[in-house]
Structure 1
Amino acid sequence: MGESGKGARRRASARTPLSRERVIRTAMAVADDKGSTAALTMRAIAEPLGVEAMSLYHHVTGREDILDGLVDAVFDEIDVPPQDTDWKSAMHHRANSTRAALKRHPWAIGLMCSRSQPGPATLRHHDAVLGALRAGGFSVPMTAHAVSLIDSYLYGFVLQELSLPFRGAAELDEVASAILRDMPADTHPHLTELATEHVLKTGYDYADEFTFGLTLVLDALHPDETAST
């Protein structure tokens, strides 16, 4: 019999020229698979590439360089705010794209603002966000306030969303129904009310909470008269 499929893939991978981009993309795949960057050893990254760990050092300087590259790769997946719309719509678009990327790569949340050597995609993204707010009439100080507020809500919501004990409406129904069933009768009327009259209603989607909260945050922000025109 021929060699295993895994062995064949490893050999094919080894024949593909190694590059920094391949190292970073493989590291991302490993982190996605393991659900954490804690598993990102040089050996763990080298194995699916079909090379020795020492070969990676021709393209990255070490683990910290890989983490820098991972953050930049995630930012590269996030849409920059569109320039052909108002600032609120631009922030909605960017926030939704960020949320989608962070749900694809849950391990990234704690890394996104932690790197002291941001890459080109990271710099491009942040500059575009600042530019959209400045073009919308925000002063430099108000732009800083707005970014801090928006990102605190955005990262916090995704972190909470990823920790929930359900995925999708069907699982939510199961979890909420089980909680109601196991709760002592008539002891928690407000929890019962919320579950029966809101969460368990047909069409409820926890994801809608994100849009509601984001809209509330953006409606609280206003350009100020000191901004440049």
Structure 2
Amino acid sequence: MVQQVAGARRVPLNRDRVLHAAVALADRVGIESLSMRTLAQELGVVPMALYKHVANKEELLDGMVDVIVGEIDPPETGTAWKCAIRQRILSARRAMLRHPWASRVIESRPHPTLVVFDYLNSVVGMFRAGGFSIDLTHHVMHALGSRVWGFTQEVFPGPPPPADPQQQAAVFEELARRYPYIAEIALGEAHDNGSVVGQGCDDQFEFEFALDLLLDGFERLHQQGWTSAHPS
């Protein structure tokens, strides 16, 4: 009787449960510690049980990306193209902030999944619905780059400064001596560590600042009837 009750309460294993458990595990222990074995332990099954739902680790990672992309809010109907795209990309950024490992996994995927294509297609579609030509839309998507996923590459990569105040002061002094202009930028403004996407990436203000510059520029080019054949 006890075994029957336990069996009745067991949640059946399926692909969706496997993928969501993998995302939760990566959030907790880091993507480097995620393996088929650790995921099986998390789910209380033997590793072979996972292969009924994902063929291998690469398919697992593809599916995890799909879960993250599924968290991005859909575009709001009846909203002007610039506002709609801004909302969509900032929603993508919130997803990246919830899962700091996701940007690295997205960059590592050799082939987009159908879910990824659906997301990109929707962003392209918002530009096209806003009246953008195919030519201009092609180039603005290149300009957005990884920003369309809510993250960017930090222009000043490097390890965090030492925790010890004296060592930190020495590091900053040496930085200012050797690279005065970089020091002006690095030390001139405080950055919010709480809004970082992954290690070394920009904070929320910097992200929105650049995104708004791009969107304003796209709007100006659209209004001017810009084409790559006649960029002037």
Q: TM-score, normalized by length of structure 2?
A: 0.70
Work out which of the residue numbers 71, 96, 103 in structure 1 matches 2:97: 103
| Range 145-154 or range 127-136, more displaced | 145-154
In structure 1, distance between residues paired with 2:83 and 2:113: 26
Residue 230 of structure 2: aligned partner: none
| Cα offset, 1:22, TM superposition | 0.7
Aligned residue identity for 1:46 = A
In structure 1, distance between residues paired with 2:43 and 2:53: 13
In structure 2, distance between residues paired with 1:147 and 1:49: 39
Residue 220 of structure 1: aligned partner: 217
| Range 56-65 or range 21-30, more displaced | 56-65
Which ranges of structure 1 fall in alignment gaps of 5 or more residues? Answer: 1-10
SS of alignment partner, residue 33 of structure 2: coil
CA RMSD of aligned residues (A): 3.7
Residue 17 of structure 1: aligned partner: 12
In structure 2, distance between residues paired with 1:189 and 1:157: 28
Superposed, which structure 2 residues align to 1:1-229 within 5 Å?
15-36=10-31, 38-112=32-106, 114-116=109-111, 118-119=113-114, 121-153=115-147, 157-160=151-154, 178-179=168-169, 183=173, 187=177, 199=189, 206-221=203-218, 222-223=221-222, 225=225
Q: TM-score, normalized by length of structure 1?
A: 0.71
In structure 1, distance between residues paired with 2:58 and 2:184: 49
In structure 2, distance between residues paired with 1:189 and 1:115: 40
* Structure 1 residues 226 and 190, CA gap change in structure 2 (3 angstroms): closer
| Cα offset, 1:117, TM superposition | 5.3
Which ranges of structure 2 fall in alignment gaps of 5 or more residues? Answer: 1-5, 196-202, 228-232
In structure 2, distance between residues paired with 1:213 and 1:102: 17
Equivalenced residue count is 202
SS of alignment partner, residue 34 of structure 2: coil
| Range 41-50 or range 205-214, more displaced | 205-214
| Cα offset, 1:157, TM superposition | 4.8
CA contact (8 A) 2:89 2:149 kept: no
* Structure 1 residues 160 and 219, CA gap change in structure 2 (3 angstroms): same
In structure 2, distance between residues paired with 1:62 and 1:215: 40
Q: Give the percent of matched residue pairs that are identical in Structure 1 and Structure 2.
A: 35
Aligned residue identity for 2:212 = T
SS of alignment partner, residue 149 of structure 1: helix
CA contact (8 A) 2:75 2:85 kept: yes
Per-residue CA deviation, residues 110-164 of structure 1 (Å, 9 max, x unaligned), is 3326242513x32332221111000111122321211221134456954439x78
CA contact (8 A) 1:46 1:52 kept: yes
In structure 2, distance between residues paired with 1:207 and 1:226: 30
| Cα offset, 1:58, TM superposition | 1.7
CA contact (8 A) 1:24 1:70 kept: yes
* Structure 1 residues 143 and 200, CA gap change in structure 2 (3 angstroms): closer
In structure 1, distance between residues paired with 2:186 and 2:36: 47
